[in-house]
Structure 1
Amino acid sequence: MADPFTNVRSAALALLNGSERQTRAAGSFLGQLVFDDTPMSEKQENWLATLLDRAGLPPLMTGGRS
C-alpha cells in the first residue's frame, strides 16, 4: 500500500485528478480543501477519508492539515 498523504491539499488534488468520478458536492468540497486551509470538522475529515477509501487511495496521515 502507498504511503499516507501528508497533507489535505495533496489528498484533495489526488482525488480531483483521479479517474474516479466525483459528485458536484464532493468536487466543491475537494476544491475548497485545495484552496482554504481552515481546519476541517470531524464530519469533513470523515468524508475525506471515505472519498480516499472509495478511490483506492491511501489515507491522510494523522495531523496532516497543511
Structure 2
Amino acid sequence: MAEPFTDFRAAARALLTVDVLSEKEGQFCGGLAFRSASLSEKQANWLRILLARHALPALTAGGEDG
C-alpha cells in the first residue's frame, strides 16, 4: 500500500494527473495545488473523498506538512 500524503498540495497535484476528473474536481485541485493557506475542514474532507474515489493514498490528518 502506498504511503499517505502528508501535504495537501502534493495530494492535489496527484489528483490532477487522473484522467477522469470532472471540471469541478479539476478546478478544486488546481486551486489547492499551489495554495499557501491551510485548508478548511470542508475542503480537507472533499480532498479526502476525491483521493478515495480515484484510488489514491489517503491524506494524513492535517495534511499541512511540506
Bin of the TM-score, shorter chain as denominator length: 0.7 to 0.9
Within 1, Cα distance between the matches of 2:4 and 2:26?
Answer: 21
Tell me the amino acid that sits aligned with residue 10 of structure 1.
Answer: A
Within 2, Cα distance between the matches of 1:31 and 1:58?
Answer: 18
Structure-2-length-normalised TM-score: 0.86
Per-residue CA deviations over 1:2-34 (Å, capped at 9, x if unaligned) read: 110110111011110123x11111111101111
Structure 1 residue ranges (4+ consecutive) displaced by more than 6 angstroms after TM superposition: none
| Equivalence for 2:6 | 6
Per-residue CA deviations over 1:28-51 (Å, capped at 9, x if unaligned) read: 110111111221111111110000
Within 1, Cα distance between the matches of 2:49 and 2:23?
Answer: 16
| Equivalence for 2:35 | 36
Within 2, Cα distance between the matches of 1:42 and 1:63?
Answer: 9
Q: Which has the higher helix share?
A: 1
Tell me the amino acid that sits aligned with residue 18 of structure 2.
Answer: G
Gap regions ≥5 residues in structure 1:
none
Tell me whether 1:24 sits opposite 2:23 in the alignment: yes
Gap regions ≥5 residues in structure 2:
none
| Seq. identity, % | 48
